[in-house]
Structure formats: C-alpha cells, structure tokens
A and B are shown apart, each in its own frame.
Chain A
Amino acid sequence: MGLTPLIQGEQCKHNDIKTPIMKATLLHQYHTIAPEEVTLWFKAAPVSKFPKNGGACIKYKDQQIAVFNFAKENIWYACQNLCPHKMEMVLSRGMIGDENLEPKVACPLHKNTFSLKTGAHLNGNLNAIATYPVRIIEGFVHIGFTE
C-alpha cells in the first residue's frame, strides 16, 4: 500500500518527525536486572540531584530509569520510567510509599501502583515493570545494568 506524500508546511509540522516507536518495542527495552547479574554499574548523578522520599529520572543510553529514595532508611530503588498502562514516561514523577511494607510507586496518571522490589502491579493485572539494582558509591547514585 502506497503512502500519500505529506504536504509540506505549517500544518504538518507535528507529523512524522521520526519513525513512530511501537509500544512493544518500547517495552522490550526494559528487563529486570537482579543484583548478581549486574556487569556494569552506571554512574548516574550525585545523590543531591534526587529528592528525598520521591523520585527522579535518569537517562542511560536510550532508556529512561526512575530512581527513588526512601530517605528515612536511605534505601534506594530503580525501575523503568515507562508506565505499562498508557505507555508514558512518567513513573519517576509518582508518589512513593508502601503497601503492607512492600515499597511501591504510584503512577501520576492513573494511580496504578507497582512494587519497587518485584515490579508487580499491586492494584490490578498489568504486566510487571522492570526493576534495577541501585548502589550509592562515594555520594553518587549507580544503577546496575548487564551491558
């Protein structure tokens, strides 16, 4: 099937700037990494860049990783920034907390909550999100990847 050529000009400036990324492709970038699998600790940013008891997003290659700091006990978690519900890069902007002491993040769009330990969707049946190990070395946040 042939595609109609785009009319150049003002009207289509938002169209087809680049190849659309398919949902599936986006999701397939993210896989849970267990601490023992880590082959590369990515030095992301100094601790001071991250809010206490909240999240921020870091860029690693083409991936977006949400990083959360539970400041009371200085525990850190990381997961994909992509919410699997509507496929938007927003989880780092969500509120964190716990459900029966299971640490979780709530998506800012529709309040789907995900375990930060297992990635499981806690209040529904969405697919689990990918989680990543975090280490603090000399005041810098490091995220564990396999490459």
Chain B
Amino acid sequence: MKTVIVVGNGMVGYKFCEKFMAHENSSNFKLIVFGEEPRAAYDRVHLSEFFSNRDAQALQLAPLEWYSAHNIDLIINERVTDIHRDHKTISTASDKEYSYDYLVLATGSAPFVPPINGVEKKGVFVYRTIEDLEGMLAYAEKIKSRKDNGKAAILGGGLLGLEAGKAVMDMGLEPHVVEYAPKLMPRQLDSRSSNVLQLTLESIGIQIHTGKATNKILGNGAITGMDFGEDDTLEVDMLVVSAGIRPRDELAKTCDLKTGVRGGIVVNDRMQTSDPCIFAIGEVALYNQMIYGLVAPGYEMAEVAVNQILDNREAAMKKEIDMSTKLKLIGVDVASFGVPYMPADKGLSIIYENKTKGIYKRINVSHDGKTLLGGIMVGDAADYSILHQMYLNNIPLPDNAEELIVGARGEGGSAFGSAMDLPDTAVICSCEAVTKGQICCSVLDDGNESVKAVAKATKAGTGCGGCKPMLNDLVAESLKTIGKTVKNSICEHFNFSRQELYDIVKARGIKDYNELLDSAGSGGYGCEVCKPVAASIFASIYNETANRQETIQDSNDRYLANIQRNGTYSVVPRVAGGEITPKQLMALGRIAQKFDLYTKITGGQRIDMFGAKLHELPLIWEELLAEGFETGQAYGKSLRTVKSCVGSTWCRYGMDESVSLAIEIEHRYKGIRSPHKFKGGVSGCIRECAEARCKDFGLIAVEGGWNVYVGGNGGANPKHAELLAEKVDKKTAITYIDRFVMFYIKTAQPLQRTAAWLDKLEGGITYLKNVVINDSLGIADELDAEMQAYIDTYQCEWKEAVENPEIRSRYTHFVNSDAEDDNIEFVSLREQKMPKEWA
C-alpha cells in the first residue's frame, strides 16, 4: 500500500481525489488530504451565490461521507507547515508527522494585497473564502445599521472584482469598482468592449472608475475613503481587494523546491516539481512560466498528476493552454477566446458594436482571412461555443467571416455548419475534457440514446453546463445517422411526448393517473415529472380541478396556494383586470391583518398575502369567499391575470375600454389548466401602459379595432409578442385568442411557455395565423367548442375545498396532532413579517 498526501482541499485538490478514485489502479493507494479551511472543498467559482442563499453546504463539492466512503483521510482545519524530502514526510501546525510516497501540492493561491498605505484598516477585505464573505456580510450589516446609503469599493476590475461588485450590491451597499488599468477585465477585453460592459454595469447600478491608482486608504482606524492623488478621492465605508492572486508556494521554499521569481512552484509537463515524487497542480503550479487562474487547466493538471502517479507515464500537459472563458457576469454574457486583441500586423479584426443593446462582438482573423485567431463577446455570447471550437480546431473560415458575428443575410440562414462538422478531437466539454468523438461513440457504440445517458457515461455537461446546447445537437445528430430521433419522452415512466399522452388520455377515455400508468406507462410508480404533466392533461381534457387527484399535483397545486421559502404559503384572490372596489380592498386588508400576513402588490395587478400556515389556508379562504372573492390560480399552470391600463373610461388618450375587455377575458379563461402559466394584457392605446406585448396574449386598441398579439413573455428570456391580427373587432379578437390558447394547450411540451412554443412551431407565426384565422387544419370548430366547454364548466376550486370536509381535512400539518409546525419562525421587516433565516 502506497500513500499519497494531497496538501490543499480546494477545487483542484478535490478534483485530484475524484479522478484518483475513479482510476482503475487506485486500489493499492491510500489518500490523505489536508485542508487548512474549516470546511471541505467547495465551489469557489460560484462563491458569489453564497450571498443570495447563505448556504455553504450548497457550494460543497462532495459531502464528508464521500471521502470516508472512498477511504480517504480528510484532515481539515490543519495546515501543513514543513516538507522533509529526505525522509519523505510532512509535518503539520499541530506537530504531527505523516509519511508519503507521493506528495501533491494543491495549495492554490492567496489574494494579492498591494502595499497601499492604510490597507490594514478595518473594513478592508479580500475575496476568496467563505470566511472572507462572512466577515464582509457582518461588516456590511454594521454599516447599514449606521446609515442608509453605505458605499463599498472593489479594488480591481477583473473577473473576480466584478463578481465582488455584484456581491456588495446584493449586500445592500452602493458598489464602486476601481481599476488601475484604463479598462475593465484588462486581460480579456479590449477598450471598446470594456466601454460597452461598463455602460451595462452602470445601468444596473455598479459605478466604474478606471485608470485610478490608489495612493492611500483614508480613515482613522476604519476605512472612510480612498485617495487617488491630486485631490481625487472616493468616500467608501468598505473596500474589497481583488487585485490578483499570489501562489501559495511557501511550502516549496521550506524544502528548496524550485520556484519562480514571482512565485509559483516550477513544474514540468508531467506536473512534477524539481523533486520527482512531489507534484504541484492548480494555481500554485508554474507551468510554461505561467500561473493559470482558471479551473479548467487546474483540472487538466489534476488528471495528468493522477495518471503519472498511477503508472501512466505518457500523460502530459499540453504545450498550449486554452485560456478562453465564457461567463455570465451579473447577468451579462462576457466571453473571450484565443487572442482577444492584437496589433494590426498580427491579424485583422471584424467588429460589431451596438451600444443601444449593450452588445459588442469582435473576431480576429489572419491576414489571409482563413484562420480565426480569437475574439471577444459582450452582451451576447450565444455563438461562443461554435466560434471557440472553430478556433481550437483550426476550421477554415467562410468567405464572409462577418456573418459569424452578425448573422447571415436572409431568413433562417446560418453561417455555421452543424456541430457534426467538427473533428472528432474537438473538445466539447472543457470542464471534463470530453471530445466530440467520445460523445458520438457513446451514442453510436455504447447505445446511450439520450443526453442524460451520455452525460452520465462521459460526464460531458456535468461541470459548468456551458456545452449543453452542443451536447444536445451532437446526441440528436448522432441518433439521426442511425435512423433514430430523439424522443421527447416525458420521463422514464412514459415513453411519449406530452402531445402523444394528451391524445392517449383522450382516445382511451382515461380518467385517473394510476389508470394511465397501467395503460400507457413503462412500469414503476411515476415521478415528480410525469405526475404534474398528467395532472395538466386531465385538467385540460376534463376541466377537473386540482382537488380530485391531489397527490399528482405539483407543489403549489397540491394545496391551491404558492409554497414559499419557509414552507408557508401565499394567497392571491382574483382581481380581474386589476379593478378592485374600496370595499374589497378593505376586506383584503382586514383579512390579511387578522391572519398576520405580509402583503405586497404583484406584477399582475393584484394583492399577494404571504406567510399563511397550511392549516390557516381554509380559514383564510372561508373569509375571502364570504367577501365575494374567488381563487386567482396564482399557484397553477393556468391563466394568471389579464393586466390592463385604465383605458378610454378615464384616460384622455384611450381609444377603447381596455379595463372592461380585460375583465371579460380574464373571466373567460380563468381556471383553465395549460402546459405552463399564461398571462394576458389589454392596452387602450399604442402607448401600451398595460405592457400587453410582454404577455402570452395581448390586445392593443387602435383606430378601427384591436390589434392581437401572441407569444410574448417577460421572465428570464424576455420576448415581445408577435402580431396575429390587425384592427379586428372585439368578438373576432376573442375568437382568435380562444383558438390560439386551445391550440397551445393541445400541442405544447410540458412547462413550455407560449413564446418558446411559438419559437419551435414549424412555420412560426405564419403557420399559426393559418391555423387560427384561415382554419388551415380544419380544427377551428373543434377548438371553439372545447374552449366553450371550459368556460361553461368553470368552478372555483377553493370554494370546493372549503365546502368539502374531505378536501378540507388535508389542510393540517400533522395527521396525529393539532399542534402547529414549530419550525416556522418570522422576524419583522418594515412593519410586516418575513421568514427567519436559519442560523
């Protein structure tokens, strides 16, 4: 049995363990891992997520059980202090000694703090570990308790600095990013792209100061500002230093391993240091006279070291390391690959810049126009994967290289070939180093016929997930070559698409889930994916409420309320078109006060009441029903609201009565279950105050009638609705929307909004117009009749629940006790309440 000691339990140190254990020769080795932080390895790349969820565990790369299950001794909270190369031992801060056969140094790096006068003051932080973040959070709270408009500066406008900017903004402080260079992300961006990024960041509230050299940190004990010389100062209450990294190579110095002039342990292409039994990987390793501060090269180094130790002397690091990066920085896509910028004698660039949309794209091509040398993308990096692959694989450029970034002229064309045109050696997943060849083999030779199966077999797409679109294409295309199509099957229990299942339920007259599972399922008990799909189909075909088959309903439908962060619920009664009487307003106020609910106006012009415990829901609804309210289905995949502006009834610009129409339509479609939620809007004139074009369907009053729009939404991928019909009368407009909604309900995929559905519909809006207006499929009468059946059979499911003792009895936390859930606690917030955070 040989012993391998790993010093450092960061991302690369952990990856070494994972790859080591996955290797077939690892059984004769014992791994001992040291980490100086108080917790096991976590995902430092997504550190800023800690601010939104405060959940250190969610960042953990593997639970402690993983280490013990693999017989790895993980010793955390312990620093290795010395290496004794002659005896092959190490000693630790608590004076223990351990022997090794091989030693792997994965000590990473420490933040570099420039020697600025005053940098030791209170309120100056670095940004590297969860403990750093906790310190920052506590300090930010202190600032906020003293004043309302606290400011925090970040020293360094690189990748990490901008992430930190977002983090302090989330903490409720005004962020200021201070960069010494004249541009942001100086390694990855040119100045024009930096300007575009700066505009976008400033629009969301992050102030940028470039070209500033910090002379001095001001303040008496604690920081109060920064001095840039020549009377130029910035008042701040906190400073986060993010000015680069320094390798943690101090251990190498204790035992005379060769290190670089500016730090880092020198390694060869096998990751060996000047002592062949000692390896260095990750940010501490100096390879090709460079330190690589990215995860992907660190993982490759881990792989090489594993292979070297486990008897594959062939394994070696590539000469050229790809430093391309793509990330979503505070919601903005930023990517750079190859050589991002260069003087004109090295290559020529093609640049597209659109400051109105915050988009900048640049590609650099060789003088003969044949080779892609690199590029930059800000604001839209959708084409990054394919451009990056073209660069890595030296794929010859098309004649009109500009089409690579501005899109081909003419509809539907694309300058790109398919992902299948890439060579087999093209690395598709750089996190796990999986090539196109491996992915295609996994489909064709190993019989993995779904993306999920391929991901499981090859690990492709399991890291950052950036390669998933290409992975999908490769799997689909590979299947096509052997005459198979990717089945849109719902899950392992039903080998059908939603539309197929819809037809099966209808044709066979199936009434409940177990019958469906027996009749059309592939065995088993079902799952959280197919159950809600079936529930939606039953609701669509029989217009049944969520009460009848409650255990197949999704979380919110199960109890007809929206489950919130702490397991309590929120309640939203219908306020059609957003019109509400003072009497109704007072009733809502009285009921919310009685049950101590947090209230907020929703985006859909109604009132949400939060913090109801499960057993309180029927009590609250009993009172709401008595005041004449009905359920708003805010919990359902169904019609939410039809938003309206005040229209010609009050507005001096209004062309028609938008409120009346909104109320009519909201009552028409209320309660209808659909593949996903859907929303409507009605505006009284083209000023569009109801934002109808951001909705699944929208109506805008114009001279001579109503314009009908469909397929819009807000959310993560905002999309404006497309024009379905112009200047039609009210009755026609409603008929068209009826058919659109019905057609969507029958044909969409599970959880597909109308925008995505329309996007995927072959023929798009033109085809839809033909179906809805010209009845090209001959189904208009059927659609109209089905819609009318919904409208005729509507019932308020909360009325049903309150009045039916069996349904009502479901609303209890314990079935064997009347006690309440004592795990739920609230704290006060601006004179209302909110869920208590866990300690």
Contacts and interface: CB of A to CB of B under 8 A. Distances in A.
Interface of A: 10-15, 17, 20-23, 26, 44-45, 49-54, 56-59, 64, 70, 72, 82, 85-90, 93-101, 103-104, 106, 108-109, 111, 113, 125-128
B55 interface: yes
Interface stretch (B332-340, B792-800, B825-833): B825-833
Nearest to B553: A95
Contact of B525 (A70, A82, A87, A94): A70
B57 A126 contact: yes
Interface stretch (B124-132, B369-377, B811-819): B811-819
Contact of A50 (B58, B815, B817): B815
Contacts of B551: 51-54, 95-96
Contacts of A59: 814, 816-817, 819
B823 interface: yes
B567 A90 contact: yes
Given A26-B823, A85-B58, A100-B492, A106 B528 contact: yes
A97 B815 contact: no
Nearest to B60: A125
A20 B821 CA distance: 14
B559 A93 contact: yes
Given A17-B825, A58-B814, A23 B492 contact: no
B831 A20 contact: no
Given A14-B826, A20-B836, A64-B823, A95 B527 contact: yes
B838 A87 contact: yes
8 contacts: A14-B828, A52-B551, A53-B551, A58-B817, A59-B814, A97-B530, A125-B60, A128-B65
A44 B524 CA distance: 28
A42 to B, nearest CB: 9
Contacts of B827: 14-15
B816 A58 contact: yes
B1 interface: no
A126 B63 contact: yes
Contacts of B524: 97-98, 100-101
A51 B65 CA distance: 34
A20 B839 contact: yes
Contacts of B815: 44-45, 49-50, 56-58
Given A14-B827, A52-B551, A93-B555, A104 B836 contact: no
B528 A111 contact: yes
Nearest to B517: A72
Contacts of B523: 101
B98 interface: no
Contacts of A14: 825-828, 833
A21 B550 CA distance: 32
B233 to A, nearest CB: 34
A88 B836 CA distance: 11
B839 A23 contact: yes
A94 B559 CA distance: 11
A6 B493 CA distance: 55
Interface residues of B, number: 53
Given A70-B525, A89-B567, A126-B63, 19 more contacts: A10-B831, A12-B828, A13-B828, A23-B838, A45-B816, A49-B816, A53-B551, A54-B551, A56-B815, A58-B817, A59-B817, A88-B567, A89-B813, A93-B567, A95-B532, A95-B551, A97-B525, A108-B555, A108-B558
A93 B551 CA distance: 9
B526 interface: yes
Contacts of B828: 11-15
Given A20-B836, A51-B810, A94 B823 contact: no
A97 B531 contact: yes
A27 to B, nearest CB: 11
B2 to A, nearest CB: 28
B25 interface: no
Contact of A72 (B525, B532, B817, B838): B525
B767 interface: no
B563 A90 contact: yes
Contacts of A90: 563, 567
Interface centre among A50, A53, A94 (most CB of B within 10 A): A53
A13 B833 CA distance: 9
Contacts of B813: 57, 89
A135 B611 CA distance: 35
B643 to A, nearest CB: 28
Top 4 closest pairs, chain A to chain B, by CB = A54-B551, A97-B527, A108-B555, A106-B528
Contact of B566 (A15, A22, A88): A88
A94 B567 contact: no
A98 B529 CA distance: 11
Contacts of A126: 57, 63
Interface centre among A82, A100, A109 (most CB of B within 10 A): A109
Contacts of B816: 44-45, 49, 58-59
B424 to A, nearest CB: 31
Contacts of B65: 127-128
A53 to B, nearest CB: 5
Contact of A113 (B525, B526, B528): B528
Contacts of A97: 493, 524-528, 530-531
A90 B60 CA distance: 23
Interface in B386-422: none
Contacts of A70: 525
Interface centre among B551, B565, B827 (most CB of A within 10 A): B551
Interface in B516-568: 523-528, 530-532, 550-552, 554-555, 558-559, 563, 565-567
B66 interface: yes
Contacts of B819: 59
Interface in B603-633: 614
B77 interface: no
A78 B668 CA distance: 44
A100 B551 CA distance: 20
B831 to A, nearest CB: 7
Nearest to A12: B828
Interface in B461-508: 492-493
Contacts of A82: 823
A54 B823 contact: no
B584 interface: no
A129 to B, nearest CB: 12
